[in-house]
Structure 1
Amino acid sequence: MTTLLLHLPPEVLANIFRRLTTSELLNVMLSCKFLRNFIINDNAIWRSAGQKKLFVYYSIENSNPITLSWYERSRISYNWRYGVYKAQVLIRHYTNYMPWLLFHNSEALVMSVGSALQCYTTNKKGLPCCKVACWKLQVPKIKRSGVRTNDISRFVLRNNLIVCGNRDGCMAVYEVNNIKQKPQLMCHIRDCHENGEVELTTVELFNKNEPFHIIATGSNYSSVLRLWSLRKHETHEPTPDVIYNNHDISVTDITLSNNVGIRCMHLNQLGNKLAIGLNGNDSPVLLDARSCKVLMTPHEKTDLKQVVRDIQWHDANTFVYVTHSGKLRLIDIRSHDKVYDAMDPFLSSLYCVKSDGDRSIIVGSSEYARCVLFDTRKNESHVQIFFTQKQTSPVYSLDFNSTKLIAAADRSLAVLDFDVNPANVERRDYSYVFR
């Protein structure tokens, strides 16, 4: 029987180290190179040590997860929880915008800037290279009277299509064969709601079978959810004036009650349920995407001060949404009950939300380009606050993966990189604020 720790069998060593805390493991790693390499490369040790800790994975729409060892996950999890990161401003503007972005499979950043859609690829470190765009395009515009712009309000990328909803009341649909190649215009539909008198605020693309594309559109100033069935064509001319003829398109209207408009919506991964956030009501609507039957209704009373600003599916049975009054809620569609209820630490309005489908939820606030990380196991407080940029702007849109958080403000776009050495980076810990 040996009396030396280094002579013990590997399974015995692993069993001993699984009983240590994280700080004790780090101290053992400093003792010698052999133990350091052994502890780093044994996933079971770090999986056991991190059972109760919060791990940030990747957002629901980001379908290409980064493969990390359990040691790397634990190290990066520490950085998320204690505010250890490097911040970098990637894009600056001299005009105020309300951008929308998508970090597609962690390999390309697609972002709206006014009426332009831009794509930037990532480098070897996973950071978007925003000096030169991979491609840019201008959506077709309609000149309107009044103060409305031609900006893109929101867009969705799914099933090799990009659907853009514009504030001029029109919709543009693009075909995408490769995210790194410029999309081709498939169709441009004018006057989507109220004969074009109101903006197109939100769009969603259904997972339907051939030979139709089903697109849902909503306006902040109309209670009608409109479903567009677009017939697929084998060939089409990619010109800015393509408009579907009447025989190529059919429209179904669904009127939602107790609201003054539709602010946001999101389809679940199975493609059979649509969560809808309303203007004039802080209670969302759940719609069966196949039968168009309303499964969950909002509050009976309409309140113009209440708005659901963004809504996302958390998993197959729950969705998360944020409101103008600063509420963050998680709803179970089986019981229609709130299973998580939190508030912004500064009681500010919340503009956007993303979930990793596990325990992490990140929201964008209306003040100081601030993002907040929440743990669905903790109702009483937030986990961490990130001031992404030195601006007073809201965070209009965000996306993330295991190591990066990307946030878009009115005049800039910033990325926070959590894959850093805590010993070399200043800690910006605001987890204690307003607890």
Structure 2
Amino acid sequence: MATDNILLLPVDILIVIFRKLEMTEIRCIMSTCKTFRNIVKGDHKIWRTFSRDTLVLMDAPETRLAALSWYNRYRISRNWLHGCFKTKSLLHHYTNYMPWLTYHNSEILYLSVGSELVCYKTDNKGLPSCSKSLWRLDVPKVVRQDVRTNDISRFVIKNNVVVCGNRDGCVAAYRITDTRKKPKLECHIKDCHDEGHVEVTAVEVVDVRDQLSIITGSSDSPDLLLCTLRSGRSSASGSYNAVNVPLQDCSGTKSMALNAMSDKLAIGPNGNSKPVLFDVTTGKYLMTSPTTVNHRQAVRDIRWHNDNTILHVTHSGFMELMDIRTNQEVYRSRDPFQSSLYCVKSDGMNALVAGSAEYSRCVLFDARKAGNYVQMYFTQRNTSPVYCLDFDSTKLISAVDRGLALLNFNVDSGSQEHKDYSGHVFH
């Protein structure tokens, strides 16, 4: 019997109809009734189709956020694009620091504040809870004849090993056996560069086959240090092999990052605006940049965007992607205020977020659209640089000199104030 009631149509037919609609029509359909709203929200193909024309933030497969529906992923990404978020202050202190952080698998937050490394868990909503720490530790200190402290400059976490590079010229490595328990000191290297007279500004670690290899660099040293230690051997024995590797086309190391296979080391040089690529297994340089040597330039932070592409930000405010197969630049954008960029992070797809040198400001870029930024976020009421950041599809965490802030984008866009600083607003 013929009917004009569309609700009586089979769900498969309704989905076919809905997939042919535009976004404005989809919004009208979703506001019609709960049945239509649930059908539209549950069909991934509709939202994947709309996601092709916009920037959608993705998550690593090993995180729990990877299971987000395409509807929620699209909705939350639209909040990123339009500056719709809720800000929360996670930590505040009255001493200026240069912190570093890692939001490990979107589950555990590691933060360095001065000479202390602190571990925080997430709450039942998946947000970092900094009211109480799981554990905290002070890195070993070596007394120097200058005014340097033993503050942690940077740290890295790989395979349950934490390696901290310190401003007193030392490196401390810890083994994590249980996330909720304080890790054990594995190795303490006292004089990494120039007999400990310069600070360690970059560290990396390789932990394979019962062998721990630590790579360190300093912005004031023309060498890399490669230290190899047998896992489980006492740190007091001092039995490790150390090899110095001369750097090329730069005066020091500002940052470094190993790829997923731990065989290629991307180096952010001091005294050059382009990265250097070093083969860890052969000890040879795969990519150098002799034509861009400039003592006023530096690559402040460097990451692996994917297996073949290096992401880095420079002192002059540029963000670039370099293809290591061709040694060519495939993407280039600049901070909208032409400020220095201190740190950078990628979701491995198209979303790139950088921390600037002023006003606690983070900037979102789209790797498919060079030359322009997507959105800006003033994360705290502070003129400090963003020294470090981390993000997933639902939140952004920024660390400045006196605090730590969380921007939660998993909010209702209809009830939350929009803070839109995108390019079209300024134009």
Q: Do the structures match in fold with TM over 0.5? A: yes
- 1:274 aligned partner, one-letter code: L
Contact 2:320 2:333 in 1 (8 A): yes
Contact 2:334 2:371 in 1 (8 A): no
Could you tell me which residue of structure 1 aligns to residue 224 of structure 2?
225
Query: Does 1:384 find its partner at 2:378?
Result: no
- Please, which moves more after superposition, 372-381 or 7-16? 7-16
C-alpha distance in 1, partners of 2:365/2:214? 32
Query: Does 1:428 find its partner at 2:427?
Result: no
C-alpha distance in 1, partners of 2:220/2:408? 38
Could you tell me which residue of structure 2 aligns to residue 50 of structure 1?
51
Q: What secondary structure is seen at the aligned counterpart in 2 of 1:305? A: strand
- Please, which moves more after superposition, 287-296 or 7-16? 7-16
Q: How many residue pairs align between the two structures? A: 425
Contact 1:342 1:380 in 2 (8 A): yes
C-alpha distance in 2, partners of 1:434/1:260? 39
Could you tell me which residue of structure 1 aligns to residue 307 of structure 2?
316
Contact 2:216 2:224 in 1 (8 A): yes
The superposition leaves residues 317-337 of structure 1 with CA deviations (integer Å, 9 ceiling, x where unpaired) of 101000000000000001111
Contact 2:135 2:181 in 1 (8 A): yes
Q: What secondary structure is seen at the aligned counterpart in 2 of 1:279? A: strand
Contact 1:223 1:255 in 2 (8 A): yes
Q: What secondary structure is seen at the aligned counterpart in 2 of 1:206? A: strand
Could you tell me which residue of structure 2 aligns to residue 70 of structure 1?
70
C-alpha distance in 2, partners of 1:184/1:434? 51
Query: How far off is 1:255 after superposition?
Result: 0.4
Query: Does 1:8 find its partner at 2:9?
Result: yes
Query: Does 1:212 find its partner at 2:203?
Result: no
Query: How far off is 1:253 after superposition?
Result: 1.5
Query: How far off is 1:5 after superposition?
Result: 2.1
C-alpha distance in 2, partners of 1:87/1:233? 43
Query: How far off is 1:42 after superposition?
Result: 1.4
Of 265, 280, 284, which aligns to 1:293? 284
Could you tell me which residue of structure 1 aligns to residue 390 of structure 2?
399
- 2:80 aligned partner, one-letter code: W
Query: How far off is 1:11 after superposition?
Result: 2.1
Query: How far off is 1:289 after superposition?
Result: 1.8
User: TM-score scaled to structure 2, two decimals?
Assistant: 0.96
User: TM-score scaled to structure 1, two decimals?
Assistant: 0.95
Could you tell me which residue of structure 1 aligns to residue 236 of structure 2?
243
C-alpha distance in 2, partners of 1:78/1:11? 28
Could you tell me which residue of structure 2 aligns to residue 328 of structure 1?
319
The superposition leaves residues 353-410 of structure 1 with CA deviations (integer Å, 9 ceiling, x where unpaired) of 0001000000000000000000011113111100000000000000011101000000
Query: How far off is 1:59 after superposition?
Result: 6.8
C-alpha distance in 2, partners of 1:307/1:49? 39
C-alpha distance in 2, partners of 1:81/1:217? 37
Contact 1:342 1:379 in 2 (8 A): yes
Could you tell me which residue of structure 2 aligns to residue 203 of structure 1?
203
Could you tell me which residue of structure 1 aligns to residue 122 of structure 2?
122
Could you tell me which residue of structure 2 aligns to residue 32 of structure 1?
33
Query: How far off is 1:2 after superposition?
Result: 4.6
Gap regions ≥5 residues in structure 2: none
Query: How far off is 1:125 after superposition?
Result: 1.1
In the TM superposition, 1:45-194 aligns within 5 A as: 45-58=46-59, 65-194=65-194
Percent identity between the two aligned chains: 49
- 2:225 aligned partner, one-letter code: R
Could you tell me which residue of structure 2 aligns to residue 277 of structure 1?
268
Contact 2:186 2:232 in 1 (8 A): no
- 1:374 aligned partner, one-letter code: F
C-alpha distance in 1, partners of 2:171/2:307? 29
Could you tell me which residue of structure 2 aligns to residue 368 of structure 1?
359
Could you tell me which residue of structure 1 aligns to residue 335 of structure 2?
344
Query: How far off is 1:434 after superposition?
Result: 5.2
Contact 1:108 1:180 in 2 (8 A): no
Contact 2:397 2:404 in 1 (8 A): yes
Query: How far off is 1:349 after superposition?
Result: 0.2
C-alpha distance in 2, partners of 1:91/1:301? 40
The superposition leaves residues 406-429 of structure 1 with CA deviations (integer Å, 9 ceiling, x where unpaired) of 000000100000000001100011
C-alpha distance in 1, partners of 2:15/2:334? 41
- 1:41 aligned partner, one-letter code: G
Contact 1:18 1:49 in 2 (8 A): no
In the TM superposition, 1:401-420 aligns within 5 A as: 401-420=392-411
C-alpha distance in 2, partners of 1:64/1:100? 24
RMSD: 1.6
Cα gap change, 1:64/1:265 in structure 2, threshold over 3 Å: closer, same or farther? farther
Contact 1:59 1:354 in 2 (8 A): no
Could you tell me which residue of structure 2 aligns to residue 239 of structure 1?
none
C-alpha distance in 2, partners of 1:52/1:343? 23
Query: How far off is 1:66 after superposition?
Result: 4.0
Contact 1:310 1:323 in 2 (8 A): yes
Cα gap change, 1:289/1:65 in structure 2, threshold over 3 Å: closer, same or farther? farther
Contact 2:109 2:120 in 1 (8 A): yes
